[in-house]
Structure 1
Amino acid sequence: MRTWRRWRRTARAHADRGPKGLSLLPWLLMGMGALSHLLGGEAANPWIGGLGLITFNTLYIAIVFRAFVPELRESRLTWTLLGCLGLLTFALAIGYGREWLLLFPLLGLAVGAVVRRGRKLTLITVPVVLGAGVVTLWRDEWDSISVVYGTFISIMVTAAILALDDTVRQLRATREELARSAVEKERLRFSRDLHDLLGHTLSVVVVKSEAVRRLAPHDLDGALTQLADIESVGRQALTEIREAVTGYREGSLSTELDRARDALSSAGIEPVVRRSGPLLEPQAEALLGWVVRESVTNAVRHSGATRCEIALDGTADRVRLTVTDDGRGPTEGPPGTGLRGLRERVATAGGTLDSGPTPRGGFRVTAELPTETPDPDGTPPRPEC
């Protein structure tokens, strides 16, 4: 099955380039003069000439079609065919002269189609044109000197047009690749956002559900309060998911800090929040909000902590967020997807994110950002007028 699919892709690629190969076939009419010379009985050894003309046309057609398939154009067989075409052209032009000299421009078309740029083009063009000039002056003196010019123009114009076509094709392929890369990047961003949203929300729902189970037998009012909180968290999660899907979600650091206090309190962890420093750009606030959300989610899920401290401070240039708990941290297995994704996003914004155990026990997440972070597309913010 794989072989069949590979063959179909190759056949499709050859079919797409086939019409371009056909565009060089009408130039074979330049050989009609040589055919007329044979049919008019003016040529010596007409059978040899006829066989040579048929071979020339066959080689020219094979080279032209192979020249439009990159895998075949650079193959040894194509270069062998081109060499044979060159030798045959010189042999027929030397042997018959006059009308047969028009085979040189056809040789130029084949050379330009195969050798489109670079040093090879110069190394082949010079001897072909000089050789055509010598043969033309010898066989027809100055009457057919235009053939030499036509040979040179055939090589250079064909090579330039086809090289430009290759460049356009490469640019189109690059543009398509950039578009695919942008789609993959957006998918990755959305998957990270969805992971962070649902991970935090489900953690809060689990903690509050456990609180309901503990309170229900002896404190019905407290259990109802926790159920109301679960309903509120669920509605908020639905809103945030809709906003994330439409791409309009702007995280608020103050909102995330309030949610962190509530989630930590519900899990039996004492929250301590300290905030100071300058006002932040919306992009920096949103990114630090994700750091708070992920760090608190890990503390609630994995740490077994009794106290969690969130500290935000900074200068006019940089801001630092530190989330420290006195638990064991996410020691089970490798670092989570959330922290890895956050580390990449913070790095993209020009900052750093470190996480690990503290010397006195516990776990700490530290994020540093410039106060003005780039937009999500990687461009720096425009200065205000």
Structure 2
Amino acid sequence: MGRIPETRKQALVKLAWIGIWLLYLGSPVSDLSDGHHSVAVVVLAGLGLALFVVAYLALVFLRTSADERPATWVYEILAAQTVLSLGLSSTLGKDWLVLFVYVAVACGAALPAEEARWAVPGVTVVLAGTGAWVDSPGELYPALVIPALLGGFAMLGVKQLVRTMRELREARKTVAQLAATEERLRLARDLHDLLGHSLSLITLKSELAGRMLPARPEEAAQQVGDIERVSRQALVDVREAVSGYRRPTLAGEVAAARGALASAGVAVRTHIPDPLPGLAGDTEGALAWALREAATNVVRHSGAALCVCALTVDPEAGVAVLTVSDDGHGPAVAGPRGNGLTGLAERLALAGGSLTTARAGDGGFTLRAAVPLAPVAARAS
């Protein structure tokens, strides 16, 4: 419904549904078969009726779903149908007044809504006038006026319903595409953060093991054991990320950050309360990702000797702020954020938070991640 048939089966089904309503043309067909007219009149009237039916089917088949302004041929066919209805009804009698009902339905199906609102009543007025002339007792045409109005405006409702269904289908496709895009973004963020941190730590420990191997084989073996442990944990984390169950905790990331920074020769000071007040699972996960990304950047880029991690909670403002700063050389030049910080900003935005970065007072780098507290937990805190 509301679409041009694409296969023979669709065409036959649509023709069957439309053909049911053509049974009301039995009145003019009976008038032709009763023998009240000459052969010439029957032939001409039959040709006119056949032409009328073909035009009606063409309009209903091809124009039901059209929302744009119709082509000129649509108006020409509607005008021809009106002329045929008027001519046949005027010359052959009241049995042919039913053609005007089909003209009204065709107007509702083929014309835009703003035009059909005037065309359907207009055709009904012509029906009433012609009926008053050919059916002087007035027994037939009042019974056709209401069907003409209802049929024409019913087609308007059908077109609106079809349009709404089409928009719903498009909206459902759009929602599915957005959900797939969001899932791809989530997976990309997770893999970047997981593998960036793990591979940086593996690279660092591999370099340490290589330097220790000739003189300190026991310590080198310990580093190799750490490499194996980090690799196995990275594999587990990747599997959880792909499955959608990965949600790091702040306590776990604090411990991981201490180990990674210590391996890089960076001293660590942490000021993070335990237990964490007023942090829901999503907000704590966002802060945990922020700490992981900040620690990875300190190890890979900063050249720092000291890193300070602090979590401050403001119950009145309803926010928790994680600050990670170092005394390294800081960013070389001002520029756009990398993939890690961009993905982190998206994570925090999904949790209702924000990310800010700046140079530290001693020339290093400072990262601040703010997330809202849970309302109940904030009041309790």
- Kindly indicate whether residue 220 of structure 2 is the aligned counterpart of residue 223 of structure 1: yes
The answer to whether the 8 Å contact 1:129/1:151 transfers is yes
The answer to whether the 8 Å contact 1:105/1:151 transfers is yes
Aligned AA (2:14):
K
Q: Quote the offset at 1:325 in angstroms.
A: 2.2
Consecutive unaligned residues of structure 2, counting only runs of 5 or more, are none
Aligned AA (1:94):
S
The answer to whether the 8 Å contact 1:17/1:68 transfers is no
Q: Quote the offset at 1:305 in angstroms.
A: 2.6
Q: How does 1:231-250 map to 2 (within 5 A)?
A: 231-250=228-247
- Kindly indicate whether residue 34 of structure 2 is the aligned counterpart of residue 37 of structure 1: no
Give 1:20's match in structure 2, choosing from 14, 23, 37.
Answer: 14
Q: 1:20 & 1:200 partners in 2: Cα distance?
A: 61
Deviations 1:158-211 (A, max 9, x none): 333443344234324423432332233223212211221111111110111111
Secondary structure in 2 matching 1:278 = coil
Quote the residue 2:268 is aligned against: 271
- Kindly indicate whether residue 113 of structure 2 is the aligned counterpart of residue 114 of structure 1: no
Aligned AA (1:187):
R
Q: 2:23 & 2:343 partners in 1: Cα distance?
A: 65
C-alpha spacing 1:205/1:176, structure 2 compared with 1 (3 Å): same
Q: Quote the offset at 1:280 in angstroms.
A: 2.0
Quote the residue 2:196 is aligned against: 199
Give percent identity, aligned residues only.
Answer: 36
Q: 2:361 & 2:10 partners in 1: Cα distance?
A: 66
Q: How does 1:157-306 map to 2 (within 5 A)?
A: 157-276=154-273, 278-306=277-305
Q: 2:52 & 2:351 partners in 1: Cα distance?
A: 63
Q: 2:71 & 2:293 partners in 1: Cα distance?
A: 56
C-alpha spacing 1:245/1:132, structure 2 compared with 1 (3 Å): same
Give 1:343's match in structure 2, choosing from 345, 350, 364.
Answer: 345
The answer to whether the 8 Å contact 1:66/1:72 transfers is no
Q: Quote the offset at 1:302 in angstroms.
A: 2.3
Q: 2:284 & 2:355 partners in 1: Cα distance?
A: 15
Q: How does 1:62-77 map to 2 (within 5 A)?
A: 62-70=58-66, 74-77=70-73
Q: 2:105 & 2:183 partners in 1: Cα distance?
A: 47
Aligned AA (2:82):
G
Deviations 1:265-293 (A, max 9, x none): 21222222222473422221111000111
The answer to whether the 8 Å contact 2:65/2:163 transfers is no
Q: 1:32 & 1:313 partners in 2: Cα distance?
A: 85
Q: Which segment is superposed worse, 190-199 or 86-95?
A: 86-95
Q: Which segment is superposed worse, 12-21 or 79-88?
A: 12-21
TM-score by length of 2: 0.85
- Kindly indicate whether residue 334 of structure 2 is the aligned counterpart of residue 325 of structure 1: no
Aligned AA (2:139):
D
Q: 2:197 & 2:15 partners in 1: Cα distance?
A: 60
C-alpha spacing 1:362/1:163, structure 2 compared with 1 (3 Å): same
Secondary structure in 2 matching 1:305 = coil
Quote the residue 1:51 is aligned against: 47
Deviations 1:322-356 (A, max 9, x none): 11223344558742222112212212222111124
Q: Which segment is superposed worse, 340-349 or 42-51?
A: 42-51
Q: Quote the offset at 1:74 in angstroms.
A: 4.4
Q: Quote the offset at 1:136 in angstroms.
A: 1.1
Aligned AA (1:163):
Q
Q: 2:322 & 2:280 partners in 1: Cα distance?
A: 15
C-alpha spacing 1:119/1:14, structure 2 compared with 1 (3 Å): farther
The answer to whether the 8 Å contact 1:212/1:227 transfers is yes
Q: Quote the offset at 1:107 in angstroms.
A: 1.6
TM-score by length of 1: 0.84
Q: Quote the offset at 1:76 in angstroms.
A: 4.5
The answer to whether the 8 Å contact 2:326/2:360 transfers is no
C-alpha spacing 1:281/1:291, structure 2 compared with 1 (3 Å): same
C-alpha spacing 1:74/1:219, structure 2 compared with 1 (3 Å): farther
Q: Quote the offset at 1:361 in angstroms.
A: 2.0
- Kindly indicate whether residue 139 of structure 2 is the aligned counterpart of residue 143 of structure 1: yes
Secondary structure in 1 matching 2:129 = helix
Q: Which segment is superposed worse, 361-370 or 15-24?
A: 15-24
Q: 2:21 & 2:167 partners in 1: Cα distance?
A: 28
The answer to whether the 8 Å contact 1:27/1:106 transfers is no
C-alpha spacing 1:309/1:155, structure 2 compared with 1 (3 Å): same
C-alpha spacing 1:86/1:137, structure 2 compared with 1 (3 Å): same
Higher relative contact order (CA closer than 8 Å, sequence separation 6+): 2
Secondary structure in 2 matching 1:70 = coil
The answer to whether the 8 Å contact 1:14/1:69 transfers is no
Consecutive unaligned residues of structure 1, counting only runs of 5 or more, are 1-8, 374-379
